[in-house]
């Protein structure tokens, strides 16, 4: 077999793997409540748009979008138990708010049970709720899409949607600050990763 043929076969195998992961994630998402399913479909649409805008692989984006909330509606104890089984170190805030673990648990599940080795894809799923410092492009796309998909309605969302298709980093900063403001106004716990994300983006964009 020629080198070109080998590369074509390898590329085809890779594409098949992503398509299979997308199928599996869609099947898991189909068991969510109708409202959550509608949200996930909206995220799939928005991720596709942002992938086209920023040159990200749309097939990777599709997998991330279908998978991101697959475990979102699990009871807290089930999520904590699965985190322990998968070897995830649960921090103090996550112990108080196990819902924050639905991304990390899903990513770890995919690594173990679906043999996913695409770290960028897994990180996008793991950190789509809190964000983190030094996020990759797919991470930023999923983080934003989760907030601005068509079903979301909150003050400032239209501005976020506009900026999201102009400047990915700036949109993530605005989204992060909007989320932090919302949590602070309600006296909620804030995960350190969310603060680290905001500070990292602020530094990257030149501070204030």
Q: Which residues contact 134 (CB under 8 A, 6 or more apart)?
A: 200
Token pair in block for residue 162? 């506009």
Q: Which residues contact 114 (CB under 8 A, 6 or more apart)?
A: 21, 24
- Cβ proximity of 62 and 40 under 8 Å: no
- Of all residues in the chain, the percent with pLDDT exceeding 70 is 94
**What are the tens digits of pLDDT across the range 104-163?**
999 999 999 999 999 999 999 999 999 999 999 999 999 999 999 999 999 999 999 999
Domain chopping of the chain, boundaries:
3-154
Token pair in block for residue 105? 């648990």
pLDDT at 193 over 80: yes
CA dist 15 → 50, 65, 119, 194 (Å): 20, 17, 16, 33
In words, the CATH class of domain 3-154 is mainly alpha
- Cβ proximity of 164 and 171 under 8 Å: yes
| Prediction pTM value | 0.92
The overall average pLDDT reported for the chain is 94
Q: How far apart are CA 83 and CA 106, in angstroms?
A: 9
């Amino acid at each position: 077999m020629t080198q070109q043929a080998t590369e074509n076969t390898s590329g085809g195998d890779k594409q098949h793997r992503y398509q299979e992961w997308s199928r599996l994630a869609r099947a898991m998402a189909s068991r969510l409540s109708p409202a959550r399913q509608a949200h996930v479909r909206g995220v799939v649409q928005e991720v596709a748009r942002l992938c086209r805008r920023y040159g990200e692989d749309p097939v990777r984006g599709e997998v991330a979008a279908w998978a991101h909330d697959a475990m979102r509606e699990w009871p807290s104890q089930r999520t904590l138990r699965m985190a322990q089984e998968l070897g995830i170190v649960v921090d103090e805030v996550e112990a108080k708010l196990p819902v924050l673990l639905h991304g990390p648990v899903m990513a770890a599940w995919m690594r173990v049970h679906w043999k996913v080795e695409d770290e960028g894809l897994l990180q996008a799923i793991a950190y789509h709720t809190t964000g983190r410092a030094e996020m990759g492009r797919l991470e930023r796309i999923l983080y934003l899409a989760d907030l601005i998909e068509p079903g979301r309605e909150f003050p400032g969302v239209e501005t976020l949607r506009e900026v999201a298709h102009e400047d990915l980093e700036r949109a993530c900063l605005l989204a992060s600050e909007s989320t932090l403001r919302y949590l602070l106004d309600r006296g909620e716990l804030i995960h350190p990763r969310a603060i680290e994300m905001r500070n990292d983006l602020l530094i990257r964009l030149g501070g204030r």
